Structure 1
């Protein structure tokens, strides 16, 4: 089996996360994993491509239409004899995976949280029924998926030497008549500490207090998606696959269960400290340290201690 790992190259944080996921894929499936990075030329030229290691295909694309990108990837997979494709998590990942699978005429699964080999078979895991049930599926050796892997704290491995191959640009989509730039993407100012609040927080007022503390100290602040969906925080404050991706020195995760969609937003943290009353929460295995107690008993002293890093 030979896998093509497809990444939308926006910034170097995404590549660093992709590097860990690529290494995990190669280790779990025991196969060759090549990379293909697509995006606008002005975005691609600022990326540290060598961080991925191995064979890297560069696919410039001026189109936001996934059907054009899928056609180019289809040709690349035929040329390189890749048997499967994994589309890295992102805004277009599900749509691109479905379009590519249609061209290849192979099965497709989107929002996959785990992928592994068992004997000669490939299996994947994903949430179904409105994220209420975790289901396992058996895949053939030829497949396309979009991923939402939570890589946790994998040991950093030295990337193998890179071989970068530039491809012909995709060109515009057939049905785009005109393109207007409304604004340039702005870099978010980094903070050494991220305070993240989850559904374990019992009231909206406590969310407000935690946010105000973070703002006062110059720390980053964010919430899990369910907190925002409840109306307790702004949509722009969501952390994870449907929100912001962070890479601070320390993330303090308060009342966070550890869902894969959320962990994707903090897994590049140097250290993760969880505060949770449930010792069996998923985040226990994904954090560097965990305080098992009610957050009301922990936060006053913890927040006072963190003030020494106030900005």
Structure 2
């Protein structure tokens, strides 16, 4: 079955979207081939860079004067793809999930967000996705095309495009849609690039054993000195000692680094579910009976200040 990739280059994570969709196609699909990608972009975008990241043979470039999901939906509808038995694959972010749901509804097809696998069948497609906060996997048989799916960011390893750049099949600038009362204009302001915890090879996870915001900041500084990404448990995030983007666990990032240092973490099941796929776990907690120690490869019963100071002094910033 042919797949159509939908990429939003108006957002600053365009390259990440492309890499995750490429990895998903290679690792998590069966009987699905992407021959076309629809790339929404702004006038300032570098066309050569856009094409070099597309994980498909051909690309349709659509320039938007304003980054509106409503405009994107109208342009997708005009392409006429909804009349064919195909799969739309959207990136697993807020844009992709919204577009998948609204496109499936508008075209009278089937939509699902956060899918982990896709397999073609005689009657349609079968997809799987994590449910119940990642504790179970559900399988869905979809029989009504078009199939509009957003891809889970944790389902596959990202893959960089190494082949020839995509060829331009069509290219145009979208006309402004008629004003309505349910969409708003917004401007994407590039800020500091957020690092993706889900792909970090080395991570320091901090817990409420830090005691206060100053302790969390000290842990974050130690992580930076060691060259590690920094994440926190839910109590830390809910106390506003760290941003929610750092949250690890069933309600945050599900990580799988090569090395994970869990400092000041008790080891609650909801948190451990987020780090259990780590290659090697080091726990640091002054309580010898902390549950995290029983689930770690190495358990250090000591004050986190002492341990992290020693590590940050000795650990080269190379990972």
TM-score, normalised relative to structure 1: 0.68
CA positional deviation for 1:119: 5.1
Q: CA RMSD in A?
A: 4.3
Distance, in Å, in 2 between the alignment partners of 1:283 and 1:166 is 44
Match of 2:239 in 1: 231
Match of 1:247 in 2: none
Distance, in Å, in 2 between the alignment partners of 1:19 and 1:13 is 10
Match of 2:32 in 1: 31
2:217 is aligned with 1:208: yes
2:2 is aligned with 1:2: yes
Return 5+ residue gaps in structure 2 as ranges.
283-296
Match of 1:146 in 2: 150
Distance, in Å, in 2 between the alignment partners of 1:58 and 1:96 is 17
TM-superposition CA deviations, 1:20-59 (whole Å, max 9, x none): 4324325522322132221322245483421334222212
2:167 is aligned with 1:163: yes
SS in 2 for 1:136: strand
> Contact between 1:88 and 1:146, CA under 8 Å: does it hold in 2?
yes
> Contact between 2:30 and 2:120, CA under 8 Å: does it hold in 1?
no
CA positional deviation for 1:144: 0.7
Distance, in Å, in 1 between the alignment partners of 2:103 and 2:161 is 30
TM-superposition CA deviations, 1:55-78 (whole Å, max 9, x none): 222121223332221121123252
> Contact between 1:275 and 1:293, CA under 8 Å: does it hold in 2?
no
2:263 is aligned with 1:273: no
Q: How does 1:1-311 map to 2 (within 5 A)?
A: 1-10=1-10, 14-26=14-26, 28-33=29-34, 34-43=36-45, 45=47, 47-53=49-55, 54-78=57-81, 81=84, 83-112=86-115, 114-117=116-119, 120=122, 122-128=125-131, 134-140=137-143, 142=145, 143-153=147-157, 158-175=162-179, 184-188=189-193, 195-197=203-205, 202-205=209-212, 206-214=215-223, 217=225, 222-223=230-231, 226=234, 229-235=237-243, 238-239=245-246, 262-263=253-254, 272-275=258-261, 283=275, 285=277, 287=278, 289-291=280-282, 292-294=297-299, 299-300=307-308, 301-306=310-315, 308-309=316-317
- CA separation of 1:43/1:122 partners in 2, compared to 1, >3 Å: closer, same or farther? same
- CA separation of 1:94/1:281 partners in 2, compared to 1, >3 Å: closer, same or farther? closer
> Contact between 1:84 and 1:141, CA under 8 Å: does it hold in 2?
no
- CA separation of 1:103/1:272 partners in 2, compared to 1, >3 Å: closer, same or farther? same
TM-score, normalised relative to structure 2: 0.67
- CA separation of 1:284/1:128 partners in 2, compared to 1, >3 Å: closer, same or farther? closer
Return 5+ residue gaps in structure 1 as ranges.
241-255
> Contact between 1:12 and 1:47, CA under 8 Å: does it hold in 2?
no
Distance, in Å, in 2 between the alignment partners of 1:23 and 1:2 is 16
> Contact between 1:26 and 1:32, CA under 8 Å: does it hold in 2?
no
Distance, in Å, in 1 between the alignment partners of 2:10 and 2:79 is 21
- CA separation of 1:3/1:20 partners in 2, compared to 1, >3 Å: closer, same or farther? same
Match of 1:253 in 2: none
CA positional deviation for 1:158: 3.4
Count of equivalent residues: 281
> Contact between 1:11 and 1:43, CA under 8 Å: does it hold in 2?
no
Distance, in Å, in 1 between the alignment partners of 2:274 and 2:189 is 37
> Contact between 1:272 and 1:289, CA under 8 Å: does it hold in 2?
yes
- CA separation of 1:204/1:182 partners in 2, compared to 1, >3 Å: closer, same or farther? farther
